[in-house]
């Protein structure tokens, strides 16, 4: 989809003489911000006598300026796009999607198109009349699994209330580094990271956050777990697993740097781990009350295919946990990269994402 508009020609009026080019154009095109006009100039989309001036270029009046404006990328955010959806359930009130890893849920800086929202508007055009195209909670870009969408305003209102009341049941599966020896819960508040705005962290000034976890299988240097959310904070499971010093495999933000040189990692497993490019986190089960009938409903999907491959490679190691080498994670081993989904339109989960 092109975001380049039809070229236009403007004449700098005499009263604008002596101004910078960007200032003069902003006076002539008040519908566009000065920063946007500066962007066009920087990108070579503004010419005077076939030359590409800088924003600081001084005009004197009478100049003919050719402009090829670009549509702001955010104006493309609510355009329908033919993106395939894995629909688990659909009626006239709700839509349940099995989201693949790599699909951003809601448009934001860096992801103005190619999102689940764009796909929903194509799949169900009536969603243009529902705020955020019916989206009531999110999954991170690289988290896969179940997500519910409202198809009407009434359904959206009802689902938001269920999320706020914490009656929506969400079960996740994850593979973490290290051995977790017993079931438990993390009850630690989560807020913005004090030094990196796009990250979250356990923060005593944050909002209450509770994650229940259960060990499903324990291996030499990994644990396969079930996580249940009592609250829904941004990146909750990822932050809480980091707090346990059991970071999620593949997590580029809260995980560990690279693959540690442990003796019990075979060449095959090391290869699989290096090829796994996202956090090993999957929303496997979703339960709620139907917003129109009040009937309890529940859906479950299989573990994502790439996580199955990873799990099989880990199981193939055949190293008894009690014979495994000790695994420790130091704070300086955590990755501190940045997420490209840094919008705050909703605080994820009940607010909403994992």
Strands (E), 79-143: 87-90, 94-99
CA 34 to chain centre: 30
**Active-site residue, from 22, 140, 142, 339:** 140
- State yes or no: is 140 an active-site residue: yes
d(CA 87, CA 94): 11
Output the CA torsion sign for 79, 82, 86, 89. positive
Q: What is the DSSP letter of 289?
A: E
Residue 109 near residue 197 (C-beta atoms within 8 A): no
Residue 144 near residue 104 (C-beta atoms within 8 A): no
Cα angle 351-290-93, degrees, rounded to a multiple of 5 = 85
Within 8 A by CB and 6+ apart from 133, the residues are 78, 117, 120, 121, 127, 149
Residue 168 near residue 352 (C-beta atoms within 8 A): no
Q: Which residues are catalytic?
A: 140
């Amino acid at each position: 989809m092109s975001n380049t508009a039809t070229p236009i020609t403007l004449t700098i009026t005499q009263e604008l003489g002596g101004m910078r080019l960007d200032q003069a154009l902003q006076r002539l095109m008040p519908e566009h911000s000065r920063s946007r006009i500066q962007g066009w100039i920087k990108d070579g989309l503004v010419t005077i006598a076939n030359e590409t001036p800088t924003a600081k270029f001084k005009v004197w009046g009478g100049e003919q300026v050719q402009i090829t404006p670009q549509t702001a990328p955010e104006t493309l955010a609510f355009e329908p796009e033919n993106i395939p959806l894995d629909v688990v359930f659909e009626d006239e009130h709700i839509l349940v999607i099995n989201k693949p890893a790599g699909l951003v849920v809601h448009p934001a800086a860096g992801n103005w198109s190619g999102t689940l929202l764009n796909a929903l508007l194509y799949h169900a055009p009536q969603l243009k009349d529902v705020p955020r195209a019916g989206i009531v909670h999110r999954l991170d870009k690289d988290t896969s699994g179940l997500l519910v969408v409202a198809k009407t305003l009434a359904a959206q209102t009802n689902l938001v209330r269920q999320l706020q009341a914490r009656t929506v049941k969400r079960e996740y599966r994850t593979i973490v580094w290290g051995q977790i020896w017993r079931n438990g819960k993390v009850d630690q508040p989560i807020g913005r990271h004090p030094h990196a705005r796009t990250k979250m962290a356990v923060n005593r000034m944050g909002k209450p956050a509770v994650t229940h976890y259960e060990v499903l299988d324990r291996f030499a240097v990994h644990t396969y777990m079930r996580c249940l959310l009592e609250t829904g904070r941004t990146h909750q499971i990822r932050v809480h697993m980091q707090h346990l010093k059991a970071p999620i495999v593949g997590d580029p933000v809260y995980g560990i740097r690279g693959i540690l040189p442990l003796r019990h990692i075979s060449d095959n497993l090391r290869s699989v781990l290096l090829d796994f490019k996202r956090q090993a986190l999957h929303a496997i089960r979703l339960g709620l009350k139907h917003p129109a009938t009040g009937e309890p409903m529940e859906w479950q999907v299989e573990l994502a295919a790439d996580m199955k491959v990873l799990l099989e490679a880990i199981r193939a190691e055949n190293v008894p946990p009690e014979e495994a080498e000790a695994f420790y994670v130091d704070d300086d081993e955590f990755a501190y990269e940045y997420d490209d989904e840094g919008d705050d339109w909703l605080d994820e989960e009940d607010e909403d994402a994992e």
